[in-house]
Structure 1
Amino acid sequence: MEKANINALQLFFLMLLFELGSAILVPLATGAKQDAWIAILLGMFTSFILLLVYNKLYLYYPNLLPTEYMQKIMGKVTGKLFAFMYILYFIYAAARVLRDFGEMLLTFAYPETPLFIANALLLMVVIYLVSKGIEVMGRSAQLLFFLMYVLAISGFVLVICSGLIDFKNLQPTLEEGLLPILKVVFTEILYFPFGESIVFIMILPYLNNPKKAKMTMLCANGLTGINLAIVMIINISVSGVGLTERSYFPLLTTIQSIQVAGFLERLDVYFMIALVVGGFFKIGLFFYAAVVGTANLFKIKSPLQLPYYLGILTLFYSIILSRNFMEHLYEGIIIDPFFLQIPLFIVIPFLLLTVAFLKNRKRENKYKV
């Protein structure tokens, strides 16, 4: 671990920017149609259980990275295997989010630019930030959070002023009952974006006050869910269910529809700034977790060059992980939840917590005797 500390407020900003990240960019919970906002809120409340599991593991071993305490809980061989699986996932997730934002930049701003160049430029900034450490990332989040929210609030006001919102697009509520909503919650929303907060098990050991971890994470998760629900309400109210489902980037489609007083229009570049800020922190935190986990697991004594090596791997993987954006979305929505996210977000953490609980209870009983 680097010798660094972040406070609870910085953790809150990091988590909020991370979870909003690519979630405000891509179609979210569209399987629930006009009830997408309900699915998001239910997914948010369900994800509190996961956060409590991650926090409890952290409190058992507050001064250790997961790559270390997994070995204490499961033994060296199994623990190292689990730790290596998470490192691979963090690299994979960083590459996926990098691909998301590279595709967005090409679609709306640089259609003639090769994807490799767009991804490389984004990743260069991420590598620089990660090399500066978690304290700098925390301070950067604290600063850029306010910029992002100023842009978000002004955008909300402009959408209202443009007269685009039609709440009839949100009706009828619960048209097909609660079952389709629950299906979306447990096959999509629980894992993306809320379950991805598993990355913060690599960040929590740097928190200067462990007692504030639980409330900070729950509050950040709650505010994220409310924000995403509002975004989906606006998207569906403006574009309708059909267009929101078909659009690769529904929020930007909504923003492009804004026209106020006959002259204020084409504001997509203005709001792309907010999207890039969120994506920047999401890529950065996944990448940071991969770098710190790799350095710790393999006992690398001089990890200064490690971000560059892993950066090259992440960059090339972001290009080759799918042939086109449609395939990229299909993998993220259909394949990832069952083969990656359920085992890594739910099964392994619950297993670790169960074994850690039994070991700690046995130790406590021993001391009582």
Structure 2
Amino acid sequence: MNKISNFQLFALVAFYQIGTTVIFGFSSEAGRAAWISVLICTLIGLLINYIYLKLYSLNPGLSLVEWYPNQFGKWLGTPISWMYTIQFLYVGGRIIGDLRSLIPNTLLPNTPHIVTSLVLILVASYAVFSGIEVIGRLGELFIPFISIISILIVVLIFSSDIIHLQYLKPFLGKGWKDIWKAVFPLGITQTFGQSIELAMIYPFVNNKNKLTRTVLIATLLSGIFISALDFFAVAVLGETIFSRSIFPMFRLVRLIKIGEFIQNLDALNVLLFLTTAFFKICIHLYSGVRGIQQLTYTKSHRIFVIPAAAIILYLGMSMASNSTEHIEAGLKIMPYNLWLLLFYILPIILFIVSLIRKKLSIDKC
């Protein structure tokens, strides 16, 4: 069986949770208080991820799609597990949709959508075919590189003299209403709630004793990073542009200019996005094929990689006719209709049932 180290898990959790937020403004509905909204989401995210980790400890050695049949029984638990598996593939398609929205409008305006999307899904398919150990090693390799780029961008923003702290004031000028609107349900489901998917790879971690600490530290740092992005975006762009822009982080980096020799850093920003998007789609694809393998009791996940990749590519190319429609589905439809159920309601019910069954089994002994 493939194994990954705790540092590799840390890298995958960070890449997964940051995801496409390096381009799309997280909690932009909160306006200038978006960074505060992200911090609140992070605290809630730490709590729900702790529950996911406790669920793993109550179902040791089992992945997410095995929890429900183990606790609810085959007839009730298996359909629920299939819901998660299908959701993994659907959200993988949304990453392709994000790519379709960004690349033609920024770096490669004349390149057909299918070209960039096909390249990404083929590379991700090869990584998934190779196994979780290869994906973990790639994460371990790229995390220092992406950290350096992120620090460099922050230094360049400060050096460009484009920060206007008055744009952030008053911090709570509109009260808590807009902040809570950004927090619930989108903020707590979009990144941190989706992290329940990472339970598909918990069984492959070498040192289980450090599992909880690794995931929670990665979650905390990811939240702080996203909050910092929003902080700088508002301080540079202002509340109105930040809230209305489709790609506020892209516009932020575009404004960096030091003299006549450091400017036009679009490629750097897109590289950052493509890296995090690649790892997130790898995890979606791996979780999807691993879920199918376990639910169909198949020996290897590899036979499902190409069909699942084709489904993700098809969904990404066809789920929305334009960027506005694509973003609308992710912001207003999915959080209420599916994500709250899959990421909060069902796991909390499962957590309660698992605790009760464990207590009953102890009492019998």
Which interval holds the TM-score relative to the shorter structure? over 0.9
Cross-structure match for 2:242: 244
Cross-structure match for 1:80: 78
CA contact (8 A) 1:98 1:119 kept: yes
The separation in 2 between residues aligned to 1:354 and 1:360, in whole angstroms, is: 10
Q: Which aligned pairs between 1:88-237 and structure 2 lie closer than 5 A?
A: 88-237=86-235
The separation in 1 between residues aligned to 2:259 and 2:221, in whole angstroms, is: 32
Cross-structure match for 1:13: 11
Cross-structure match for 1:306: 304
Cross-structure match for 2:34: 36
Show structure 1 runs of 5+ residues with no match. none
Q: How much has 1:207 moved relative to structure 2? A: 1.3
CA contact (8 A) 2:24 2:247 kept: yes
1:140-161 CA-partner distances (Å, limit 9, x unpaired): 1011011111111111111111
The separation in 2 between residues aligned to 1:87 and 1:199, in whole angstroms, is: 9
1:85-115 CA-partner distances (Å, limit 9, x unpaired): 0000000011101210232111112212222
Show structure 2 runs of 5+ residues with no match. none
The separation in 1 between residues aligned to 2:327 and 2:347, in whole angstroms, is: 26
Instruction: Give the 3-state SS of the residue equivalent to 1:266 in structure 2.
Output: coil
Q: How much has 1:302 moved relative to structure 2? A: 4.2
Q: How much has 1:139 moved relative to structure 2? A: 1.0
Cross-structure match for 2:54: 56
The separation in 2 between residues aligned to 1:52 and 1:155, in whole angstroms, is: 32
CA contact (8 A) 1:59 1:210 kept: no
CA contact (8 A) 1:23 1:192 kept: no
Instruction: Give the 3-state SS of the residue equivalent to 1:193 in structure 2.
Output: helix
1:251-291 CA-partner distances (Å, limit 9, x unpaired): 11111111101232111112221111111111111111001
1:50-86 CA-partner distances (Å, limit 9, x unpaired): 1111111100122122222311101101111011000
The separation in 1 between residues aligned to 2:125 and 2:195, in whole angstroms, is: 20
CA contact (8 A) 2:107 2:270 kept: no
Q: Percent identity?
A: 28
Aligned residues: 365
The separation in 2 between residues aligned to 1:48 and 1:207, in whole angstroms, is: 20
CA contact (8 A) 2:88 2:288 kept: yes
1:172-207 CA-partner distances (Å, limit 9, x unpaired): 110022232122112221111111111111011111
Q: How much has 1:306 moved relative to structure 2? A: 1.1
The separation in 2 between residues aligned to 1:33 and 1:161, in whole angstroms, is: 25
Matched to 1:75, the amino acid is: G
The separation in 1 between residues aligned to 2:334 and 2:67, in whole angstroms, is: 26
Matched to 1:330, the amino acid is: E
CA contact (8 A) 1:62 1:210 kept: no
How high is the TM-score relative to the length of structure 1?
0.96
